[in-house]
Amino acid sequence: MASESVVDSFRPVEMSTDVVSTDSSKTRTLPDLGTIDIRQAGWVILDVFVSGRYCKYVRNLPQSPWIIDGVRKCESSVQELIGPILAAHFVADSYKFMASGREDVDVRMLGRGRPFIVELINTHRPHLSEKQYAAIQKEINQKSAGKIRILDLQQVSDKDTETLKHGEEFKEKSYQCVLWMPEPVERERLESLSQTPEFEIEQLTPIRVLHRRSLCSRKRKISKMSFTYINSHYALLDIKTQAGTYIKEFVHSDLGRTRPSLGDLLGQDVQILYLDVTEVELDFPKKLENEEEPVSNAGTILDSIDLNSVPSITCADGSKSPSFQPSPPPQNAHQCSPLLS
């Protein structure tokens, strides 16, 4: 017996089908369960749900792997910078990444970031301490420095996935974008638009996502717009909207598929050059004490734009943007390298 392993020392057990009662006249018979071999028994391990918020500081990183016809378009993704490290620490068989909405590959996620949940499947090390969570968060941030930063990493319940889904559809989000207008616009016109009260728009599924989303029409609320005049052709727009609003399409109308659009309000074909998400208003997960607030070194949204040049823009109909003679930018405008088309 000493030479047997612990597992081999277990023997098949014959399961009795008779249940003895204190009343000899009432003996119940159970179905024949046969022989159970403990060596073939498996453990059922509950999944672990880990949440946090992520910031994204680059414009070439999708939220999930971007693969078209078997060809990878970007070398990594937010999901791949977070999920595998968590899976390794929890010794999980696999994982699923979920977030409260998503930004486009060329859009940064700033502020306190976007809430996410990682479901770790069949974990073999399900219980970690707060110090271990903090160490994992630090590891992810160090390995992804300059690309993403996560905060408030903590364990949550499976029911919190509903909170995440609700925020994706019904909470508000704030954005900042750089606008280019082919026709000169006066400062007073933008200041007037900044006073526009809350209004509703209707959007058809954008052309650029029709290959993966069904065609439908949905109404979304624009809560607030604030314009910053740069020169007669460039402006900054800070905008707060209902979650699920397609900001790019609100600006350029997507060939009339969004009504009203900013182009409708200004009476010309407005183009959006860069877009940042600045806030996702969802009180989840809970803010951790002593959490170091994210500080971006990614620069302002005006970096990499030459405000004296005409941007090269391919419009939704395939045409190129017209040229113009721009007004001199204000002295405090950012002077950076030319915009890449």
* 187 exposure class (CB count in 10 Å sphere: 0-12, 13-18, 19+): middle
Report the alpha-carbon distance of residue 146 to residue 138 in Å, rounded: 14
The dihedrals phi and psi of 98, each to the nearest 5 degrees, come to: -130, 150
Q: Which amino acid is at 174?
A: S
- 283 catalytic per annotation: no
In 3D space, the residue among 136, 167, 137 whose CA is nearest the CA of residue 151 turns out to be 137
Report the alpha-carbon distance of residue 161 to residue 158 in Å, rounded: 6
Beta-strand pair 172-180/48-56: unpaired
Report the alpha-carbon distance of residue 341 to residue 339 in Å, rounded: 6
Options 47, 104, 264, 306, the catalytic residue: 104
Report the alpha-carbon distance of residue 83 to residue 97 in Å, rounded: 7
274 forms beta bridges with 178
Distances (CA, A) of 173 to 54, 79, 274: 15, 21, 17
In 3D space, the residue among 177, 180, 178, 176 whose CA is nearest the CA of residue 313 turns out to be 180
Calculated CA dihedral for residues 164, 299, 297, 332, nearest 10 degrees? -130
Beta-strand pair 71-72/92-99: unpaired
Q: Give the burial string for 282-311 (b: 16+ CB within 10 Å, else e).
A: bebbeebeeeeebeeebeebbebbebeebb
SS3 46: coil
Report the alpha-carbon distance of residue 237 to residue 111 in Å, rounded: 16
The catalytic site residues sit at 104
